[in-house]
Amino acid sequence: MRMLDRLARWKESGAISKPQHDAIAGIVRKDRFSVYVELNILLYLGALSIAGGVAWTVREHFSDLGDFAILCSLSVVLVLSFYYCFSRVLPFSMGEVESPNPVVDYVLYLACALFSVTLGYIEFRFEVLKAAWDYYLLVSAALFFVLAYRFDNRFVLSLGLSTLAGWFGLRFWRFGFISPSSLRGAALAYGAIVAALGSFLQSREIKKHFFETYLHIAANVVFMAMLSGVDRDAGGWLWAAALVALGTFAVMMGIRNRKFAFVAYGTIYPYLGVSLELLRGIHDDVTILSYIVVSGTAVVVWLVYLARRFGRES
């Protein structure tokens, strides 16, 4: 019996779903398949690598190249990049707008990264803002938000949210809140603000499809902040219990709204928090290894089960 016949029988018996059958059958038939997502990731990483290379070159060779040559070169590249993007952008809409072509997205992302390099170099060489240099982060975040909404680009939106997080943390540090507990509070506040902002914009139907990006950033920040309280404070079990409660909510909402990433967040972070508390004070390597193997396997099986369930119901 041919493999395709077996696949047909498995589909008829319910052993595999139709999407799974189609995916496996395409591989068996050696059909062409899309690598769009993989290429997107590689191209964005390439743009980030170019910006990183430019930053390294500027930092290491600024004395040889000179300030004028560096700033002129960066300015020319920025102007050309933004001109290219704005000359091809489609009219703005509150809803989702498809990019005119993928190159615009990569050039925009590269321009944002080079803008950060330019501001960093200006402050490094001329110390314009000195102690208040963190306002560069605020200005950058504002620009990235405007560009993200104008060009409907989630990567630039993530860049803006990350930059805003950097400014938020530095502001807290400048106010004298430098203890782990205060920084944890700042992270929790930031996560709540991001989630609230995303919810507000969604309710106003302003780029509603961006809401998930806000939630991804907020969820990871809040989970990591809560995880940092486990095994460090005297009330570690309270943080672990809070992680379990929030994780349960994330799993329920992830299943309800068909968002498997949040199911993974709600499983992995609480598992790490509870594990840190359970293993606190245990120094026996065999016990630790046994716990990791057994509990880790259970978590993997749980996630695989849920992933298969998502696949069957999609």
With beta carbons less than 8 A apart as the criterion, state whether 221 and 190 touch: yes
Q: How far is it, in rounded angstroms, from Cα 217 to Cα 194? A: 8
Count of C-beta atoms within a 10 Å radius of residue 247? 23
Q: Which amino acid is at 66?
A: G
pLDDT values of the chain reduced to their tens digit, one per residue, 314 residues: 467 677 677 777 776 777 777 777 766 665 555 555 556 666 667 777 877 888 888 888 777 888 899 999 999 999 999 999 999 998 999 999 988 887 898 899 999 999 999 998 998 888 888 877 888 999 999 999 999 999 999 989 999 999 999 888 777 766 655 566 777 888 899 999 999 999 999 999 999 999 999 999 999 999 999 998 886 656 788 899 999 999 999 999 998 888 889 999 999 999 999 999 988 878 888 999 999 999 999 999 998 888 877 655 44
User: ∠ CA 166-191-275 to the nearest 5 degrees?
Assistant: 100
Enter the pTM of the model.
0.80
With beta carbons less than 8 A apart as the criterion, state whether 239 and 216 touch: no
Task: Choose among 220, 157, 235: nearest CA to 190.
Answer: 220
Count of C-beta atoms within a 10 Å radius of residue 66? 11
Give the CA-trace dihedral at 171, 161, 145, 102, to 10 degrees: 150
Q: How far is it, in rounded angstroms, from Cα 219 to Cα 180? A: 19
Task: Choose among 213, 207, 211, 212: nearest CA to 95.
Answer: 207
With beta carbons less than 8 A apart as the criterion, state whether 134 and 171 touch: yes
- Long-range CB contacts (within 8 A, 24+) of 2-10: 3/28, 4/28, 4/29
Amino acid 127: pLDDT? 85
With beta carbons less than 8 A apart as the criterion, state whether 266 and 250 touch: yes
Amino acid 52: pLDDT? 82
Q: Which amino acid is at 105?
A: D
Q: How far is it, in rounded angstroms, from Cα 108 to Cα 87? A: 12
With beta carbons less than 8 A apart as the criterion, state whether 74 and 117 touch: yes
Amino acid 43: pLDDT? 66
Q: How far is it, in rounded angstroms, from Cα 224 to Cα 66? A: 42
Q: How far is it, in rounded angstroms, from Cα 162 to Cα 137? A: 10
Q: How far is it, in rounded angstroms, from Cα 308 to Cα 293? A: 22
Give the CA-trace dihedral at 288, 293, 294, 299, to 10 degrees: 120
Amino acid 1: pLDDT? 46
